[in-house]
Amino acid sequence: MLIPMYHPRHSLLFFLQIPLTALFASLQANNAANTAPSEPLRDSLDKIRWRAQSGDAYYQGYLGICHRTGYKEAELSKTKARHWSQLSAKQMHPLGLANMGAVCLWESQKLSGNKEAHRRKVIEARQYYEDAYLNGLYRLAEDKGDPLAADLLGDYYHISSTPSPAEMEKCYRAAIAKGYPRSMAALGVYQVGGYNSIEKNTGEAIFHFENAAKQGLPVGLFNLAIAYMDGDGLKRDLSKARSLMKQAADKGFDGAAMRLKKLDEILQKQGRTVLGSTISQPITAKPKIAPSRLDPEAERCLLLARSGNAEAQRRIGLMYWVGKGVPKNLGEAKHWLSEAANQGDKIAQQRLALLKKLY
């Protein structure tokens, strides 16, 4: 069971707080959640695109997901992800509605320097996820066993105003059992540092990253590259990291091109070719701070920072600057503030300039 017998959103109080238009739309959804293929992951991108173009709400949402995640080797494109998801959402299909929420979260990452705009975008995302839930996202995930819906339902439990990490993990694992790589990458990120009820399990996280990368999922390639860069759960190997990061960058994954440039600089300084075929100097592994020396808030922040979240990168950078929750380390502070600044975070840019001026 992905959904417990009782959930706060099933309560009368919750439904009294929902606008009547949303409830009416939910009742008029024509059982959209009941129209889904039995094995959607077997469909080719050509079939998904053809069905979407023919007006099928499920496949319009599916195509939007492909363009948001790069699944099935689809082009990563916010514009295309939003276009197809909106078409599905207009038919009140839960896949389209939930993926619109995911697209809004994707768009919010570029607004981390503007707190109010970022807050509004997150609220918009949460509303889309709530609408998807009302229109049968949980039925599509539970009754139909749809892995795309289960993955988005996992996101819903994370973005909800009352998050449930345990339910989120159940949903991701249900999608993983069907072979869906995006859930593999998502669960793996939380397992790297541990997140509330999700236990830290670097070995399983690497297993998920590897399987997601084998399917060519950009975020899987990116996260596996980071693991090789940091030597987290794997022997540090900058050549493998570089190869994986280049694949992620070629697919247009956010932050991959910047990481690839840094990897090339490191390899060149170490006297290695860009392809990593020769080594004239031994690699000196970057000292790692034991997880036990970080408080829970810092661990969560570092986890999000590694996944490319600019706000988290700024926050962990400031933590390292003052030694809050982590050992004071100006090198790490400069690194993470630079990462956030390169993504356009204006506060990070200001703090980085000050840090460089002072030290």
Per-residue model confidence (pLDDT) at position 220? 96
Q: How far apart are CA 264 and CA 267, in angstroms?
A: 5
Q: How far apart are CA 230 and CA 238, in angstroms?
A: 9
Number of other CB atoms surrounding residue 305 within 10 Å: 23
Per-residue model confidence (pLDDT) at position 104? 95
Q: Measure the CA angle with vertex 198, ends 196 and 203; round to 5°.
A: 135
> How buried is 299 (Cβ within 10 angstroms: 0-12 exposed, 13-18 middle, 19+ buried)?
buried
Per-residue model confidence (pLDDT) at position 340? 85
> For the chain, what are the domain ranges?
18-34+46-167, 190-269, 293-358
Number of other CB atoms surrounding residue 17 within 10 Å: 8
Residues 6+ apart with CB under 8 A from 16: none
- Residue 354 vs residues 90, 114, 328, 349, 359: alpha-carbon distances, Å: 48, 20, 17, 9, 9
- Residue 212: name the closest of 244, 234, 239, 240 by CA: 244
Q: How far apart are CA 226 and CA 66, in angstroms?
A: 23
Q: What would the two tokens of residue 74 be?
A: 């689809």
Q: How far apart are CA 281 and CA 269, in angstroms?
A: 9
Per-residue model confidence (pLDDT) at position 272? 56
Q: How far apart are CA 124 and CA 130, in angstroms?
A: 10
CATH number of this structure's domain 190-269, picked from the four choices 3.40.50.300, 3.40.50.1970, 1.25.40.10, 2.120.10.30: 1.25.40.10
Q: What would the two tokens of residue 48 be?
A: 């998904």
Beta strands in 229-324 (DSSP E): none
- DSSP 8-state code for residue 251: T
Looking up tokens 């078409």 gives 87
- Residue 216: name the closest of 66, 357, 87, 40 by CA: 66
Q: How far apart are CA 36 and CA 330, in angstroms?
A: 52
Number of other CB atoms surrounding residue 104 within 10 Å: 22
- DSSP 8-state code for residue 72: G
Q: What would the two tokens of residue 249 be?
A: 């960058």
Q: Residue 346 — left, alpha, or beta (φ > 0 → left; ψ -120 to 50 → alpha)? A: alpha
- Residue 343 vs residues 165, 190, 308, 339, 346: alpha-carbon distances, Å: 28, 22, 9, 7, 9
Q: How far apart are CA 333 and CA 320, in angstroms?
A: 5
Number of other CB atoms surrounding residue 86 within 10 Å: 17
Q: How far apart are CA 267 and CA 260, in angstroms?
A: 11
Length of the chain: 359
Q: How far apart are CA 209 and CA 299, in angstroms?
A: 19
Cα Rg for the chain, rounded, in angstroms?
A: 21
Q: What is the pTM of this model?
A: 0.72
Per-residue pLDDT of the chain (359 residues), as tens digits, is 233 333 334 443 444 444 545 444 444 444 555 567 889 999 999 999 999 999 999 999 999 999 999 999 999 999 999 999 999 999 999 999 999 999 999 999 888 788 899 899 999 999 999 999 999 999 999 989 999 999 999 999 998 888 899 999 999 999 999 999 999 999 999 998 888 788 889 999 999 999 999 999 999 999 999 999 988 888 999 999 999 999 999 999 999 999 999 899 888 887 654 444 443 344 344 434 334 456 777 877 887 787 778 888 888 888 888 888 888 888 888 888 888 888 888 888 888 888 887 77
Is the separation of the CB atoms in 212 and 188 below 8 Å?
yes
Per-residue model confidence (pLDDT) at position 346? 86
